[in-house]
Structure 1
Amino acid sequence: MSHLIQKYNIPGPRYTSYPTVPYWDQETFSNAEWMNTLKKSFDESNEEEGISLYIHLPYCESLCTFCGCHKRITKRHDVESPYISAVLKEWALYCDFLGSRPKIKEMHLGGGTPTFFSPQNLKRLINGIFELADKADAYEYSFEGHPNNTTKEHLQALFDVGFRRVSYGVQDYNERVQKAIHRIQPFENVKKATEAAREIGYTSVSHDLIFGLPHQTLEHVEETILKTKSLRPDRLAFYSYAHVPWIKGNGQRGFKDEDLPSPNAKRQQYEEGKKLLTKVGYKEIGMDHFALESDSLYQSMVYGKLHRNFMGYTASKTQVMVGLGASSISDSWYSFAQNVKSLEEYERLVVDNVIPIYRGHILTEEDRVIRKHILNLMCRFKTVWGTEESYFPEISLAKDKLAEMEQDGLVVFGIDELRVTEKGQPFIRNICMAFDVLLHRKEPGTRLFSMTI
């Protein structure tokens, strides 16, 4: 396996969307067309399946140097109330346009650090959302919690308004690694936050782990996984550290490049970490994710309902995802739209009754076909193209690009179908790239993506 990882470890998209953001067509995009596609999709799907809602809460008290998210570092908590007012105003603008009450099936609070906000302000936010919306059947609401500042009051406040899943960013338990990434959180803090969630009644607790961090060794990864096992989170993510300082600037320069594990050491962390996670009882879900058999993410994989969007893997599909807050991305299935990133501009536009979109992409018929293939591969490890609706002219080029992977035992072709083997699952990003016709037509001249492994 090591020689294959070395062979296929190249820069590539994570495919939370197709087309990927660098290939969005700004010339054909307009805010008016985005809103039209949103209304069309909402009318088609709201009653039957509801919508997803992502709310970006960008504030953090300190900078974690591994983080690639859009954030604002401050210790001033007087920013909370104005920001929540802006998010609720943006939501009201959407609801006025949509014309009927949305049914929210999935909701996620991301950041930044959502638990930067007080329990009272978080409750105000969610109650404000539901003044204009209803809970869909079988809903699932989740938030990202920092183990150091997620209190019982935070957990209880969000539990009271329907949240049953919390995700804690753990990364690594080694003190030297934590100092390098400026994320000091002892195991005891994670244990306390995990147990508090379960005592209150949360049915799914998730931990995020990262390999390839500065000063991190294989022993650190194994120790972190074994400590994680003792807390038995229902699901977890095992991410590769994406070192992209050319995108995120000095935020990822809190250490030297030579402090990062060598490519061979990082590959070993990945391989041995996955083996250990499987050994201690976790089932692999799609790419980077693991879950206990009792968790809804595993059940959705078993029953073919696993979905992937800008929130990552989700247990069910909605055709519409609305993103609220600075930098959030929305998906109408027919188009994508991203909010402005500047907090000041975001709040100014919303106060002026403007939905704060600054870029996006209207999907062509070809885009929608290829998007389905990539979703099938990312969520089910197989896809078919035997029907008129699933065929695209460059399928022969995709097959040519997959020929070497077929020889390496990573994929198997059938009649008008492709199946990813168990051996090939770690290379799912590479396999999806074979279908990415926009990537083929215009190879990037500069570094755009993190390494695939």
Structure 2
Amino acid sequence: MSNFLINKYNVAGPRYTSYPTVPYWNQGTFSIEEYKETLKKSFSESNASEGISLYLHLPFCESLCTFCGCNKRITKRHDVESPYISAVLEEWDLYLELLKERPVIKEIHLGGGTPTFFSPENLTRLINGLFENADRAEEFEFSFEGHPNNTRKDHLKALFELGFDRVSYGVQDYNPVVQQAIHRFQPFRNVKDATEQAREIGYTSVGHDIIFGLPFQTVEHIKTTIEKTKELMPDRIAFYSYAHVPWIKGNGQRGFKEEDLPTADVKREMYETGKRMLAEAGYVEIGMDHFALKSDSLYKAVEDKKLHRNFMGYTASKTKVMIGLGVSAISDSWTGFAQNVKTLEEYYEILDKNEFPLYRGHILTEEDEKLRRHILNLMCNLQTSWKDENLAFPELPDVLIRLREMEADGLLTIEKDRLVINEKGRPFVRNVCMAFDLLLQRSKPETQLFSMTV
């Protein structure tokens, strides 16, 4: 990838886990009642045929990783576990009361924070509590994020017995200097043990997360990390750029200086090096930042044109309804988004009033729905089409004009009724989506809200 293209297209841009993106949601005028109506409608239309997805945010961590942009609460006190699980189940009861019909759960993802901060007994209580008044879909996928340092065999066994067969471990980088900078100390041995234990128990998909662009990181560090990763051959690999947004995330990302970060040119070399090594090892690039072996369900979803992207990342199954439970969790009714409050204190306080702990969101317009489908197509399939009249919109000619320069640079091909991102354009998929993002085009944010695209 030429430095010219890197410099030209390395701008701040969304990662498009949703459209419209979160900065364009409305806090002041967002109607919780209106959102609940969209949720009830989508649920009644899709629960019986495809089920729903659940995202559970478990926010506690024993130590702060300075690269992390997630909502978390740092504590070594484990007496916080039980009250939090009680609160999450109380929130679930509110949804059960709203939806009336017994939910069919197709997908569960435990994120954080550190889900394995919680004891196996408390995780079991949580999942069993969800199913007291819900059913499991015939085909389901339950997954969780594990910290290699504290994911014990009894965690893996307990969750496996509850139906979980996919786990993703945060590796980031094996170099001790980088680990020191990001305050994430974990030797290869811990990752190896956690990976092998999961496979021994019966997990069918083990993923590793690797980040490039971290402080003090070099191309050689990436090579070493991927060489070690190849020894374990995880089924999936998320290989993505560090999102440096300390102006949003606060002091957590201020544990190092700006000059300690690699330049955009070096980051792109890291990406190209890692991508080449992963391809040589048999991994197939999927969507943006994700790689999978051909035996993994994520690759099969690509082959079957069923790959989906939501707030949990790329997934092999799609549901119209995703309910987020826990502090800061986001729900998606397909025609609306809603986010929970971000502090534990407020979350508990609102639930004590028997109210939904939502504080902001967005109800999609007809235009939003069309643009969301185009952006999902680009993020998942690297192409989109407006042959279907339902996907045409008045500003489409303007969007295509904005993309002509990228076409001239060989990054994409514009045909009569469709657009295809070329292999050369893969690293710039976020830039292509930005051309379709009419809210971004009409109202550029006054301050930088997004990480850089490269």
The TM-score normalised by the length of structure 1 is 0.99
Look up the SS of the partner of 1:323 in the other structure.
Answer: strand
Contact conserved, 2:6 with 2:265, CA < 8 A, in 1? Answer: no
Distance 2:8 2:269 in 1: 14
Trace 1:176-187 onto structure 2 (pairs within 5 A).
Answer: 176-187=177-188
- Provide the rounded CA distance (Å) in 2 between the counterparts of 1:294 and 1:111: 27
Partner of 1:339: 340
Q: How far apart are residue 241 of structure 1 and its match?
A: 0.5
Contact 1:411 1:418 in 2 (8 A): yes
8 Å Cα contact 1:25-1:362 kept in structure 2: no
How far does residue 350 in structure 1 lie from its aligned partner after superposition? 1.3
Hey, what's the Cα distance between the residues in 2 that align with 1:175 and 1:408? 39
Aligned match of 2:136: 135
What is the letter of the counterpart of residue 438 of structure 1? L
* TM-score with structure 2 setting the length: 0.99
Alignment of 1:16-415 (within 5 A): 16-26=17-27, 28-415=29-416
Q: Per-residue displacement from partner, 1:28-62 (whole Å, max 9, x unpaired)?
A: 52000010000000000000000000000000000
Q: Distance in 2 between matches of 1:304 and 1:267?
A: 28
1:450 counterpart letter in structure 2: S
* Aligned residue number for residue 451 of structure 1: 452
> How far off is 1:299 after superposition?
0.3
Q: Per the alignment, in what secondary structure is the counterpart of residue 383 of structure 1?
A: strand
Q: Following the alignment from structure 2 to structure 1, what is the Cα–Cα distance between the partners of residues 388 and 172? A: 44
After superposition, the C-alpha distances for 1:423-453 in whole angstroms (9 at most, x for unaligned) are 1111100000010000010011110100112
**Tell me, what secondary structure is at the counterpart of 1:122?**
helix
What is the CA distance between 1:263 and its match in structure 2? 2.0
Q: Is the 8 A contact 2:238 2:289 kept in 1?
A: yes
Partners of 1:256 and 1:28 in 2: CA distance: 38
Counterpart in the other structure of 2:5: 4
Q: In 2, are the aligned partners of 1:409 and 1:423 still within 8 Å (CA)?
A: yes
Looking at structure 2, the residues matched to 405 and 119 of structure 1 have their Cα atoms a distance apart, in angstroms, of 50
CA distance in 1, matches of 2:386, 2:379: 16
SS at match of 2:328: coil
1: CA distance between counterparts of 2:204 and 2:7? 39
User: Which stretch of the first structure deviates more once superposed, 418-427 or 184-193?
Assistant: 418-427
For these two proteins, the number of residue pairs brought into alignment is 453
Q: Secondary structure at the match of 2:23?
A: helix
Residue 280 of structure 1: CA displacement? 1.1
Residue 156 of structure 1 aligns to a residue in which SS? helix
CA contact (8 A) 1:52 1:107 kept: yes
SS at match of 2:142: strand
Displacement after TM superposition at 1:234 (Å): 0.3
AA aligned to 2:66 is T
Please identify, of 279-288 and 257-266, the stretch whose mean Cα deviation from structure 2 is larger: 257-266
| 1:386–1:416 Cα contact (<8 Å) kept | yes
C-alpha distance after superposition, 1:316-340 (max 9, x if no partner) = 1100000000000000001000000
In structure 2, the partner of 1:428 is 429
State the SS of the aligned residue for 1:14.
coil
Secondary structure, counterpart of 1:449 in structure 2: coil
Q: Quick check: 1:89–1:351 contact (8 Å CA) kept in 2?
A: no
- Is 2:55–2:111's contact at 8 Å kept on the other side of the alignment? yes
After superposition, the C-alpha distances for 1:363-384 in whole angstroms (9 at most, x for unaligned) are 0000000000000111111111
Counterpart of 2:237 in 1: which secondary structure? strand
Q: Tell me how far apart the structure 2 counterparts of residues 448 and 271 of structure 1 sit (CA, whole Å).
A: 26
In 2, the alpha carbon distance for the partners of 1:432 and 1:190 equals 35
* Structure-1 separation of matches of 2:262 and 2:376: 31
Report how far residue 387 of structure 1 moved.
2.8
Per-residue deviation, residues 388-433 of structure 1 (Å, max 9, x unmatched): 2101111011101100011011111111211111111111000000
Distance 1:94 1:445 in 2: 37
Runs of 4+ displaced beyond 2 Å: 25-29
Three-state SS of the structure 1 residue aligned to 2:424 is: coil
Match of 1:438 in 2: 439
Shift of 1:27: 5.3
Task: Determine what percentage of the aligned residue pairs are the same residue.
Answer: 70
- Unaligned 5+ runs, structure 1: none
Distance in structure 2 (CA, Å) of the matches to 1:161 and 1:42:
24
Contact 2:6 2:264 in 1 (8 A): no
Q: Which amino acid in structure 1 is aligned with residue 169 of structure 2?
A: Y
Determine the C-alpha separation between the residues in 2 that align with 1:198 and 1:348.
41
Which residue identity does 2:124 align to in structure 1?
K
